Amino acid sequence: MSTEKTTNPFLIAQQQVRNACDALKLEPAAYEILKQPLRVMEVAIPVTMDDGTVRVFPGWRSQHNDAIGPTKGGLRFHPDVYVDEVKALSMWMTFKCAVLGLPYGGGKGAIKCNPKELSQGEIERLSRGWVDKMAQVIGPEKDVPAPDVYTNPQIMAWMVDEFSKIRQYNNFGLMTGKPLIIGGSAGRSTATARGCVFVIKEAAKKLGLQIKGAKVAVEGFGNAGSFAAQLMSELGAVIVAVVDSKGGAYDPSGLDIKAVYAWKEKNGTVKGAPGTQDISNEALLTLDVDVLIPAALENQITAAIAPNVKAKIVAEAANGPTTPEADEILYKKGTFVIPDILASAGGVTVSYFEWVQNLENFYWTEEEVNSRLERMMVESFNAVHEMHSKQKVNMRSAAFMVAVNRVVQAMRVRGWLH
């Protein structure tokens, strides 16, 4: 795995925090505390495979900062995950929570595995094994995981069950993104996409752009990407292209998103959907569209691609899709980037709602969840936009400044800084 300054996500996160601390003229100790996680737990998880052999999988949990509240963040299963990635993602979660004003710090977890090569039984044993090894450092009052890349509500359910066995009582507040029947929240599955669409609408207002008829391209067609495409098309936008890890579907006159989704469900990819042309990932990123939604993995928009990005709005539904060099290029050419820590914060916001509902044992309707989510996303967008206008910085710098300021205020009143 490359550790060049441009692609190592931990170095990128540190630079973003350093820039925000400098812009806010904070005391040096603030950056020293924020530049690394408070703790990182690494575990080895032995799993009995279906053939009777035992394999040991490495797992991590990074807890970046808990000045404002328990740490919170996803848990990913991925064959290429590595510790610096987990640390960076936990840092971004701290600031994602802070920019939304949630009473959380940032956490992130991972297991290095290829879930596509594992049976359901093996995935269940691996999931329970991670909880067994992490039980001392997680819990509703300490650190609250959630689904992420290649994890889902079923995996959360197994983990909650394992933790409840360890604690000897039902402990549904341990995880968010659970099935509804055991304390999940209405509206959780669409929350990341919905939050992203709420801020796209706000950005469009500021730029004088009509959503109805606007051309949109979506990179990544998993949970966030597919729902974002669906929600944007419901608002009258024209989705001209989508890609997933196996290929893309393009139709300049607009895709039928429901048909593309049905095709992907049946064939495992959007590529080849009836009536569409193939399109590569890179070609999609540089299409002549109004809105580009990167909803895949890190470092997709690079310095090589950024000069050719034609979208007026780039709304980052994924974590870290734009490299710092690309960010600078986009800002200089006037592209309005809604950064990941704001654009993809709908998921953690509804995770927060789920945790609150678990603690109260009182559940809200989907309408209540969505209207509260809209209010928080719009307020946060406006706070970041105000900082962007006042300080004459790009939206990412503005979001980090709003977030870092909130975390440092908490650290200061707690006596971490003198």
Any catalytic annotation for residue 178? no
Instruction: Quote the CA–CA distance of 70 and 368 in Å, as a whole number.
Output: 24
Residues 353 and 369: beta-carbon distance below 8 Å: yes
Q: For residue 192, give every residue at least 6 positions away whose Cβ sits within 8 Å of its Cβ, in sequence order, or none.
A: 223, 224, 227, 317, 344, 346, 347
Residues 384 and 99: beta-carbon distance below 8 Å: yes
Instruction: Quote the CA–CA distance of 13 and 164 in Å, as a whole number.
Output: 34
Mode of pairing for the β-strands spanning 54-65 and 71-78: unpaired
Which DSSP string do the residues of 6-54 spell out, in sequence order? Answer: TT-HHHHHHHHHHHHHHHTT--HHHHHHHTS-SEEEEEEEEEE-TTS-E
Q: Which one, of 199, 179, 157, lies nearest residue 346 by Cα?
A: 199
From the candidates 87, 96, 108, 215, which is the catalytic residue?
108
Active-site residue set: 108
